[in-house]
Copies of this chain bind each other. A is one copy, B any other.
């Protein structure tokens, strides 16, 4: 295996590990527990699952790897704070949306060559990317992995 292939796999493993841990935490919670706030007056676990699902779903167009599966989640879980808009999906459907989005993303990342990882994401112009080639897909996936870790840290406080 080449160095660049090994680096891509190492980054992919990091994504899988973080998403997998959130999966485990989610599987251990009842639908009722998903209504718990992570701290008094803060987001419900349900909101965080919706938020992470919507943010990850946005990776399809951002990375140029396909169409979104759940654009209906943005208004509730990205644009607005918790409890502003009624949850658009039932708990079982949100759990399925979370799983579907991540499994489809992971399958796409598993096929990435090093050159694929280093392609520009679609929110940066050709000109800006020429100046700064670190604005690539790898940077975006690392950023989303850290974002998922950020909210995972909050989620465990609800226990």
**Residues of A at under 8 Å CB distance from B?**
1-4, 6-11, 13-14, 17-18, 38-40, 42, 114-115, 117-118, 133-134, 136, 138-139, 142-143, 145-147, 149-154, 157
Q: Which of B39, B139, B150 contacts A10 (CB 8 A)?
A: B139
Q: Which of B2, B114, B142, B153 contacts A153 (CB 8 A)?
A: B153
Describe A's contact surface by its main secondary structure: helix
Q: When A and B form their complex, which 4 residue pairs have the shortest distance between CB atoms, in order from nearest?
A: A150-B153, A39-B39, A153-B153, A149-B149
Q: Contact at B149–A153, with CB atoms within 8 Å? A: yes
Task: Report if A136-B4 is in contact (Cβ < 8 Å); known contacts: A142-B14, A149-B150.
Answer: no
Indicate the member of A2, A3, A8, A154 with the most B CB atoms within 10 Å: A3
- CB-CB < 8 A to A4: which residues of B? 2-4, 7, 114
Q: Contact at B13–A139, with CB atoms within 8 Å? A: yes
Q: Which of B9, B42, B118, B143 contacts A6 (CB 8 A)?
A: B118
Nearest chain B CB to A18's CB is how many angstroms away?
A: 6
* Number of copies of this protein chain within its complex: 2
- CB-CB < 8 A to A152: which residues of B? 150, 153
Which residue of B is nearest A43, CB measured?
B157
Q: Contact at A117–B154, with CB atoms within 8 Å? A: no
Q: Which of B2, B143, B154 contacts A14 (CB 8 A)?
A: B143
Nearest chain B CB to A154's CB is how many angstroms away?
A: 5
- CB-CB < 8 A to A8: which residues of B? 7
Q: Contact at A136–B42, with CB atoms within 8 Å? A: no
Nearest chain B CB to A116's CB is how many angstroms away?
A: 10
